[in-house]
């Protein structure tokens, strides 16, 4: 710890408070122990326990975790189980715990960093609160003491404090995360009962000041910044006896207001374009507002309205099962948990009530199919019931961070089943699975000469920031009518390291009323336009799950149970690869097993291929309930595509038919048309 006792008593504390001046006087008089006791007594007597323990964040913790679960986690900690990122080991003597030790097989860096988020501190304090068992108090004292001793504040590491290996505990994101409940809940629990040694109390509060200094002066950007500011808000609000607490809160609110225009597109999707970190950012705004509301601080209507619109952005692309689409380094979780956590902020919101009560209360959104026109996502749906047909098309910008090479990807759910899904997030390691999921092979789009998209090679974060700042829309174009819904976009930045110059254009047509009495289905029209005049191999790729499949010609059908099937049928030549390492790593689905090599399980990858210069491929995605796909063949050319039905009828469609005409956001703005917001 670099902050000395003298600096703490002289400058960190507000000496306009008589008791804080008395602490300083005692210290100057050489009565350090008395100064520490005086400070600890003041803290015990002046923390606002009533407000803290009725804080929404605390109540959420109580409601999410049963007493049994709390005791289970705390008992593991007391027994020396050290856990991070899903991997644990047993430390035989917690007093000898090494906070820099990494037990993972692949030396997973996040394990050590995230260990210093101190996620189990809240459970340990709660377990002591419930039982008064001394072992929990001793466990907390040992863990916090060893951490304070080993993880010295990195004031000299100015240029490398975000990813420092010398100071593993002080990465700014970890500093922000542990400054949520993990530190403050134990402080309030144990200080209320007066069971912490005075010396330890002083050291904890010295470290809190160092955290505040760290998070104010070396905060970063993107989702890290809101995490940092969210954690910082706890220090600035709970402990008003710090000299700078008022200035800290002003800094936090000013910066958070600025970030609304820096990080949010005009459709209120966070600029990393990953659903997971969109929710992280939204969560930290909610956290700050919850603290402000409980401690009598003013929150602007702008912030409150912006967070509500962030909820709305997710609602527009929400899956029928109420899960958030797992886009880029996203998240696959039930959105209703987030709605419940935010309901205090928007009481009686009809959409919140609709989803939280499964439609028994409130009202559904006023729209069905929807777009995020600036971001570039399009969701097509037949209704808000859980068995609705739903497709998500990715025509989005690349995004500021946590991106995947996935433009033009296509997800599909129907009849209560998720049929084609994005590969989603994975551990931030160098595994083959991580590389695959970030690549085009992890998504339902196309490859050229077996190579994926390479946005990353020419990507500029400054350009992404300009896109947000200047409200530059994506190239997504769409049209929704009673019979058809159509969306399209293009990828034009090249494939592979050499940036093979091929443009890929994809149009998705939703036949809402089917054909010849069929069930609704989708046609994907893929156009490949080489700019080098050469012939190439084009592969339209779909990653299936583990459901049983049946192949016939250029069609494959996956049986999802309960009478639900998905058939993929294409004008391209079909091949299926499963559990393959060479010549390319494909045919796998992710398994959550951080820190190990057990990262995947077999699942068929389907490729529909064409070879030539310009090429045109049509693919049908036919979800069925208690039936089979009645489409037997497809043909696709430059200007038209044909669908052959089992009853012998052939339907030919002109690609330029006004029925399938779409309009981009830019065109809609120019023509005064609705942009879907």
Q: Which of 626, 601, 424 is nearest to 519 (CA)?
A: 626
Tens of pLDDT, residue by residue over 627-638, are 899 999 999 999
631-636 and 640-645 strand pairing: antiparallel
Radius of gyration of the chain (CA): 28
| Residues in the chain, overall count | 677
pLDDT at 597: 53
Instruction: Outline where 167-317 has alpha helix (H).
Output: 172-178, 181-193, 198-217, 222-238, 245-263, 275-294, 301-316
pLDDT at 156 over 80: no
The 3-class secondary structure across 106-173, one letter per residue, is CCCHHHHHHHCCCCCHHHHHHHHHHHCCHHHHHHHHHHHHHHHHHCCCCCCCHHHCCCCCCCHHHCHH
Helix (H) or strand (E) holding 400: none
Collapsed DSSP state (helix, strand, coil) of residue 611: strand
**Chain segment 357-379, per-residue pLDDT in tens:** 999 999 999 999 999 999 999 99
pLDDT of residue 423: 85
For position 598, what pLDDT does the model report? Answer: 55
- Please provide residue 522's backbone torsions phi and psi, each rounded to the nearest 5 degrees: -120, 145
Average pLDDT on 167-182 reads 91
Helix axis angle, 32-46 to 198-217, nearest 10°:
70
Average pLDDT over residues 510-523: 96
Q: What is the model's pLDDT at position 354?
A: 96
**pLDDT tens digits, one per residue of 538-566:** 999 999 988 889 999 999 999 999 999 99
Residue-wise pLDDT tens digits, 647-671:
999 999 999 999 999 999 999 999 9
- The CB-side HSE value for 22 (13 A sphere, CA atoms) comes to 11
CA-to-CA distance for 29 and 301, rounded, in angstroms? 50
Query: How confident is the model at residue 379, as a pLDDT?
Result: 98
CA–CA gap between residue 380 and residue 389 (Å, rounded): 8
pLDDT score of 160 more than 50: no
Check whether 162 has a pLDDT greater than 70: no
User: Which residue, 193, 377, 417, is CA-closest to 274?
Assistant: 377
Assigned fold of 370-671: Beta-galactosidase; Chain A, domain 5 (2.70.98)
> Is 352's pLDDT higher than 50?
yes
Is 361 strand, coil or helix? coil
Maximum Cα–Cα distance for the chain, whole Å?
100
Let me know: does 53 contact 59? Beta carbons within 8 Å.
Answer: no
Q: Is 69 helix (H, G, I), strand (E, B) or coil?
A: helix
The rounded distance, in Å, linking the Cα atoms of 444 and 392 is 11
Mean of the pLDDT values across residues 504-533? 97
The Cα–Cα gap between 574 and 552 comes to 10
Six-digit token string for 52: 């803290």
Amino acid 158: pLDDT: 47
Mean local confidence (pLDDT), 181-187: 97
Mean pLDDT of 437-445: 95
pLDDT band of 161, cuts 50, 70, 90 = very low
Distance CA 589, CA 597 (A): 14
Q: Is the pLDDT of residue 403 over 90?
A: yes
What pLDDT sits at residue 537?
98
Q: What is the pLDDT of residues 491-500, one digit of tens each?
A: 999 999 999 9
Q: Are 569 and 634 spatial neighbours (Cβ–Cβ below 8 Å)?
A: yes
Given a cut of 80, whether residue 593 has pLDDT beyond it is: no
pLDDT reported for residue 109: 87
Find, among 379, 399, 377, 371, the residue nearest to 468 by Cα: 399
Q: Which residue has the tokens 């430390």?
A: 91
Helical (H) or strand (E) element with 58: helix 56-64
Omega before residue 650 within 30° of 0, cis: no
Q: If we measure between CA atoms, which residue out of 189, 222, 223 comes closest to residue 204?
A: 189
Query: Comparing 48-52, 231-235, 429-433, which segment has the lowest mean pLDDT?
Result: 429-433
Indicate the burial class of 510 (C-beta count within 10 angstroms; 0-12, 13-18, 19 or more). Answer: buried
Dist. CA 205–CA 39, nearest whole Å: 10
Average pLDDT over residues 141-162: 78
User: Between 430 and 388, where is the model more confident?
Assistant: 388
Look at residue 167 in the predicted model and tell me its pLDDT: 65
Find residue 653's DSSP bridge partners: 641
**Every domain of the chain and the residues it spans:** 1-46, 49-218, 370-671
* pLDDT recorded at residue 7: 95
pLDDT given at position 108: 87
pLDDT at 592: 64
Which tokens go with 69? 């679960």
Give the number of other Cβ atoms within 10 Å of residue 597's Cβ: 11
CB 473 within 8 A of CB 373: yes
Q: How many angstroms from the chain centroid is the CA of residue 105? A: 26
- Torsion sign, CA atoms 308, 313, 314, 318: positive
CB 374 within 8 A of CB 263: no
Q: What tokens were used for 31?
A: 């009565």
Confidence check: pLDDT of 429 > 50: yes
The first and second tokens of residue 365, run together, are 């959104």
Q: Are 402 and 543 in contact (CB under 8 A)?
A: no
Residue matched to tokens 């052959």: 644
Residue 626 CB burial class (10 angstroms; 0-12, 13-18, ≥19): exposed
Asked whether residue 190 carries a pLDDT value surpassing 90, the answer given is yes
Read off the tokens for 406.
């996935």
Average pLDDT, the chain: 94
Torsions phi, psi for 35 (to 5 deg): -60, -45
Say how far apart CA 428 and CA 435 lie, in whole Å: 10
Per-residue pLDDT averaged across 142-166, rounded? 73
Residue range 263-320, pLDDT digits in tens: 999 999 999 999 999 999 999 999 999 999 999 999 999 999 999 999 999 999 999 9
Cα torsion 468, 473, 475, 479: sign: positive
């Amino acid at each position: 710890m670099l902050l000395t006792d003298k600096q703490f008593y002289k400058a960190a504390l507000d000496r306009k408070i008589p008791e804080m001046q008395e602490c300083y006087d005692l210290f100057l008089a050489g009565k350090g122990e008395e100064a520490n006791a005086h400070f600890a007594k003041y803290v015990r007597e002046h923390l606002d326990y009533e407000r803290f323990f009725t804080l929404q964040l605390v109540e959420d913790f109580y409601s999410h975790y049963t007493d049994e679960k709390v005791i289970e986690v705390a008992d593991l900690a007391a027994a020396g189980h050290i856990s991070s990122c899903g991997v644990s080991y047993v430390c035989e003597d917690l007093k000898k715990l090494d906070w820099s030790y990494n037990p993972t097989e692949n030396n997973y860096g996040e394990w050590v960093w995230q260990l210093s988020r101190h996620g189990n501190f809240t459970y340990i304090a709660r377990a002591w609160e419930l039982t008064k068992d001394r072992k929990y108090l001793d466990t907390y004292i040992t863990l916090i003491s060893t951490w304070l001793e080993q993880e010295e504040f990195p004031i000299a590491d100015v240029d490398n404090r975000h990813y420092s290996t010398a100071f593993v505990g002080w990465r700014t994101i970890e500093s922000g995360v542990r400054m949520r409940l993990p530190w403050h809940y134990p402080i309030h629990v144990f200080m209320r009962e007066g069971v912490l040694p005075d010396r330890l109390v002083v050291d904890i509060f010295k470290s809190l000041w160092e955290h505040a200094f760290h998070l104010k002066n070396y905060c970063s950007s993107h989702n890290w910044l809101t995490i940092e500011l969210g954690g910082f808000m706890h220090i600035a609000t709970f402990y008003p006896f710090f000299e700078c607490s008022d200035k800290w809160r002003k800094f936090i609110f000013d910066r958070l207001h600025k970030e609304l225009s820096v990080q949010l597109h005009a459709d209120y999707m966070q600029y990393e374009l990953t659903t997971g970190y969109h929710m992280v950012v939204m969560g930290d705004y909610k956290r700050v507002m919850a603290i402000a509301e409980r401690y009598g601080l003013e929150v602007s209507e702008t912030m409150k309205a912006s967070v509500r619109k962030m909820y709305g952005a997710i609602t527009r692309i929400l899956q029928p099962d109420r899960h958030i689409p797992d886009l880029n380094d996203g998240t696959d979780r039930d959105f209703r948990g987030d709605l419940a956590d935010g309901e205090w902020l928007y009481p009686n919101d009809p959409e919140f009530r609709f989803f939280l009560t499964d439609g028994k209360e409130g009202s559904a959104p006023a729209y069905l199919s929807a777009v995020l026109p600036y971001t570039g996502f399009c969701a097509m749906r037949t209704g808000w019931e859980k068995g609705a047909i739903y497709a998500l098309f990715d025509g989005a910008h690349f995004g500021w961070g946590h991106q995947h090479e996935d433009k033009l990807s296509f997800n599909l759910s129907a009849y209560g089943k998720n049929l084609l899904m994005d590969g989603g997030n994975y551990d931030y390691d160098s595994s083959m699975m991580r590389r695959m999921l970030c690549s085009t092979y992890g998504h339902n789009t196309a490859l050229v000469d077996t190579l994926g998209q390479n946005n990353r090679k020419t990507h500029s974060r400054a350009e992404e920031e300009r896109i947000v700042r200047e409200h530059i829309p994506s190239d997504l174009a769409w049209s929704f009518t009673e019979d058809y819904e159509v969306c399209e976009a293009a990828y034009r930045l090249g494939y592979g390291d050499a940036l093979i110059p091929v443009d890929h254009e994809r149009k998705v047509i939703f036949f809402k009323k089917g054909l010849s009495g069929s069930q609704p289905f989708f046609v994907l029209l893929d156009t490949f336009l080489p700019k080098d005049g050469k012939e190439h191999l084009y592969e339209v790729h779909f990653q299936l799950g583990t459901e049983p499949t049946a192949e016939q010609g250029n069609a494959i059908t996956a049986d999802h149970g309960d009478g639900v099937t998905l058939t993929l049928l294409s004008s391209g030549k079909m091949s299926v690869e499963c559990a393959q390492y060479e010549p390319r790593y494909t045919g796998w689905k992710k398994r959550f097993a951080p820190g190990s090599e057990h990262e995947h399980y077999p699942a068929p990858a389907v490729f529909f291929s064409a070879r030539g210069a310009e090429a045109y491929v049509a693919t049908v995605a036919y979800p069925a309930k208690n039936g089979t796909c009645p489409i037997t063949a497809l043909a696709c050319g430059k200007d038209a595509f044909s669908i052959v039905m089992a009853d012998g009828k052939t339907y030919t469609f002109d690609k330029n038919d006004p029925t399938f005409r779409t309009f981009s956001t830019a065109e809609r703005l120019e023509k005064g048309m609705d942009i879907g917001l």
